[in-house]
């Protein structure tokens, strides 16, 4: 499910229930996620207070009062939801659950188990292998044309592939890569190193805008994404190209013919949606 806006939506939804609260009970019902939940996970998290719920790229991070940090990634199908919204903590794919001191139950549910929950000890987060090499946050004010140009300058891969590479920048997935390239009018086939100057400026602006708008809309609910309260995001209604193969291009209104309309191609095994007339 989750790219940066969806993870940020989850963070915002859960923060009021977690920040400043102690975890009085932690249950691991299934530990064989993408990387195994550590054996001592429940013991190390129980009776710790959550100081801060924050996000790095697509990772949700729960900083605990002993300096350790719970690391969660939702993979393709993961959810972190408040119990009671169709999830009770006992379901087939309810793998980990947390209960806070005021009786709130939060459940990590992930049918495909591409997600993970683990824990970094005090001081270990910065060097944690999952996070250490991650690129900059696209919504950081310091993320600008110069930063993105420097990150892309050495990359001969396509710009679409570069956007999906979490070492280049953090949090972009297939949907927002397609949407940002459309807004920036850049061909997904263009070499990443060819995105500099004005193109880089347009791309930075497009990324910031599409991510911000998506967060404001509560993310995109296609198959799996739910807000922590069970509610739907609705940014999917604002997609310009993603999943719109065969439709007229909303930018130039070109219709489906030799050169126009929204087309789908496969890059690196992932679908790319684009308008070859508008994106160069």
Partner DNA sequence: CGGCAAACCTGCGAGC
Partner DNA sequence: TGCTCGCAGGTTTGCC
Q: Which of positions 235-264 make contact with DNA (CB under 7 A)? A: none
Which of 3, 6, 8, 179 does the annotation list as catalytic?
3
- 42: tokens are 């429940």
Which of 113, 190, 270, 277 does the annotation list as catalytic?
270
Binding mask 144-173 for DNA (x = CB under 7 A): ----------xxxxx--x--x-x------x
Helices (H), the chain: 4-18, 41-45, 145-152, 159-164, 174-184, 197-216
Q: What is the 3-state secondary structure (H, E, C) of 4-42?
A: HHHHHHHHHHHHHHHCCCEEEEEEECCCCCCCCCCCCHH
Q: Would you count residue 270 as binding DNA (CB under 7 A)?
A: yes
Q: Is 2 a catalytic residue?
A: yes
Return the SS3 of 189.
coil
Q: Would you count residue 89 as binding DNA (CB under 7 A)?
A: no
> What distance in Å separates the CA atoms of residue 70 and residue 63, rounded to the nearest whole number?
6
Q: Would you count residue 93 as binding DNA (CB under 7 A)?
A: yes
Which of 2, 5, 138, 188 does the annotation list as catalytic?
2
- Nearest approach in angstroms of CB 63 to DNA is 20
Nearer to DNA, 48 or 57 (CB): 57
Q: Is 58 a catalytic residue?
A: yes
Q: Is 160 a catalytic residue?
A: no
Stretch that binds DNA, among 14-22, 96-104, 218-226, 247-255 (CB under 7 A): 218-226
**Which one, of 22, 111, 26, 19, lies nearest residue 60 by Cα?**
19
Which residue in 220, 244, 261, 279 binds DNA (CB under 7 A)?
220
Q: Would you count residue 58 as binding DNA (CB under 7 A)?
A: yes
* DSSP letter, residue 222: S
Q: Would you count residue 77 as binding DNA (CB under 7 A)?
A: yes
**Which one, of 53, 46, 44, 50, lies nearest residue 64 by Cα?**
50
Helices (H), 103-189: 145-152, 159-164, 174-184
Residues annotated catalytic, as ranges: 2-3, 58, 270
């Amino acid at each position: 499910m989750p790219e940066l806006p969806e993870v940020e939506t989850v963070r915002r939804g859960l923060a009021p229930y977690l920040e400043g609260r102690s975890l009085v009970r932690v249950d691991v019902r299934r530990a064989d996620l993408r990387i195994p939940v550590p054996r001592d996970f429940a013991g190390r998290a129980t009776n710790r207070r959550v100081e801060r719920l924050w996000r790095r790229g697509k990772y949700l991070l729960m900083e605990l009062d002993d300096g350790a940090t719970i690391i969660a990634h939702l993979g393709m199908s993961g959810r972190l939801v408040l119990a009671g919204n169709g999830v009770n903590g006992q379901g087939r794919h309810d793998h980990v659950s947390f209960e806070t001191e005021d009786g709130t139950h939060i459940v990590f549910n992930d049918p495909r188990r591409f997600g993970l929950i683990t824990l970094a000890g005090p001081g270990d987060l910065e060097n944690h292998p999952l996070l250490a090499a991650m690129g900059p946050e696209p919504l950081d004010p310091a993320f600008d044309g110069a930063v993105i140009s420097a990150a892309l300058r050495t990359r001969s891969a396509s710009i679409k592939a570069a956007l999906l590479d979490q070492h280049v920048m953090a949090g972009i997935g297939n949907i927002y890569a397609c949407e940002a390239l459309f807004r920036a009018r850049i061909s997904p086939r263009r070499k990443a190193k060819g995105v500099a100057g004005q193109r880089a400026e347009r791309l930075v602006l497009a990324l910031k805008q599409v991510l911000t708008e998506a967060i404001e809309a509560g993310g995109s609910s296609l198959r799996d994404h739910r807000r922590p309260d069970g509610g739907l995001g609705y940014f999917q209604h604002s997609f310009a190209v993603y999943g719109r193969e065969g439709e007229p291009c909303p930018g130039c209104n070109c219709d489906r013919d030799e050169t126009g309309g929204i087309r789908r191609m496969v890059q690196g095994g992932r679908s790319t949606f684009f308008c070859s007339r508008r994106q160069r």
